[in-house]
Structure 1
Amino acid sequence: MALTLYFLRHGETTYSQTGGFCGSLDPDLTDEGLQMAIAFGKAYSKLDWKAAYVSPMKRTIATAKPLCDAVGLEMQLRDGLREIEYGEWEGKTQDYVKEHDQETYIHWMTEPAWNAPPGGETAVQIASRSELVIAEIEAKYSDGNVLVVSHKATIRIMLCGLLGIDLGRYRDRIDAPAASISVVEFGKYGPKLKILGDRSFMDEELRSRPGT
């Protein structure tokens, strides 16, 4: 059996509804976001899990909790799995940033690998810290299922790194809706994407939530 990583984005928050910049901010899940987490826990509790690596934010911990409680997994919290740091843009909407910091916003949208929000992080920086967590998992587990609970940008950047996709195109090539699961299997020829952004485990009402 190959090592298989299950990348789970946290469930819905008020910021994932509105599209506001939320990296170091630490909102709770909405009621619907919690239901998404519970649905994941129920659907995936029958798998044989080796470990759960989780970003140390309230929204990721709450998303991992139903599955971890169900199967008796201890969360291993890792700072490397945190969301992108948006610096001065934290809590602001994209429309506000476009109006008040247009030049920086255009650079960031055009080439986010090397351009950061003021006081924030580039995609390259996120890749550097999150890759350390992936390397730790690979060193410890040669096979089995490992859960990685993180955030929208961070998951997309990790997937780009594993699949050889230009980090600057993470928003263009990879999608990660709220509470979606993406699965990567480490085989003979390296990482292979098996599932991307799946939310079939939750009911239609949750899947249709706007802004996720």
Structure 2
Amino acid sequence: MSLTLYFLRHGQTGCSLKNAFCGSIDSELTPEGLEMAKAFADAYTSTPWRAVFCSPMQRTVATAAPLCAALEIQPELRQGLKEINYGKWEGKSPEIISQEYHDDYLRWSADPAWYAPTGGEMAVTIAYRAMQVIEEIKQLYTSGNILVVSHKATIRIILCSLLGIDVGRFRYRIGCPVASVSVVEFTSHGPLLRSMADRTHLNERLRNLPGT
């Protein structure tokens, strides 16, 4: 049996509903976000999990909680799985940021790998810390299913790193809506993307909520 990682983005938050940048803000799940977390647990409890690794932010911990409760296990919290720090852009919409930090926003939009949000983190920094967690998992587990609960930008950057895609393209090559799951299997030929941004565990109402 090979090692398979399931990357789950947290459920809906107030920031995702408003399409506002949310990295270091420790936002909570909305009631609908909590529904998404339960829907994931209901659909995936029967999967033979070996461990759950999770960003320590409350929105990710709350997303992992229903599954962990059903499995009677504790999530392994890792700082490296936290979302990109958006610095002075935190809590603001792209439209506002484009007005207030126009030049920085243009540079970041063109190449977020090497340009950071004003006062924030570059994608290469996220790749470095997040991939350390992935390497830790690979050393601890050579086979089985591992759940990784993280954030929109961080998951996309990890997927780019694993699949050989320039991390500077993470915003334009990888989709990652709230409560979506992307699956990577480690084969003899390296990482293989089995599925991306799957949300079939959500009912139609949850899948079609605005701002996700």
TM-score normalised over the length of structure 2: 0.99
* Partner AA of 1:147 in structure 2: L
Distance 1:163 1:74 in 2: 29
* Partner AA of 1:2 in structure 2: S
1:53 maps to 2:53: yes
Give the secondary structure class of the aligned counterpart of 2:210: coil
* Cα displacement (A) at 1:45: 0.2
- Deviation track 1:47-73 (CA, whole Å, cap 9, x = no partner) reads 111100000000000000001111122
Distance 1:27 1:120 in 2: 18
Q: Percent identity?
A: 56
Q: 5+ residue gaps in structure 2?
A: none
* Cα displacement (A) at 1:125: 0.2
Give the secondary structure class of the aligned counterpart of 1:192: strand
Q: Is the 8 A contact 2:10 2:149 kept in 1?
A: yes
2:155 alignment partner in structure 1: 155
- Deviation track 1:146-202 (CA, whole Å, cap 9, x = no partner) reads 000000000000000000001010011100100000000000000000010000011
TM-score normalised over the length of structure 1: 0.99
1:14 alignment partner in structure 2: 14
2:79 alignment partner in structure 1: 79
Q: 5+ residue gaps in structure 1?
A: none
1:63 alignment partner in structure 2: 63
Give the secondary structure class of the aligned counterpart of 1:8: strand
Superposition CA RMSD, Å: 0.5
* Cα displacement (A) at 1:206: 0.1
Distance 2:21 2:65 in 1: 24
1:116 maps to 2:116: yes
Distance 1:100 1:67 in 2: 41
Q: Is the 8 A contact 2:52 2:76 kept in 1?
A: yes
Distance 2:195 2:176 in 1: 11
Aligned residues: 212
1:180 alignment partner in structure 2: 180
- Deviation track 1:69-119 (CA, whole Å, cap 9, x = no partner) reads 111221100000000000111111111110111000000000000000111
1:138 maps to 2:138: yes
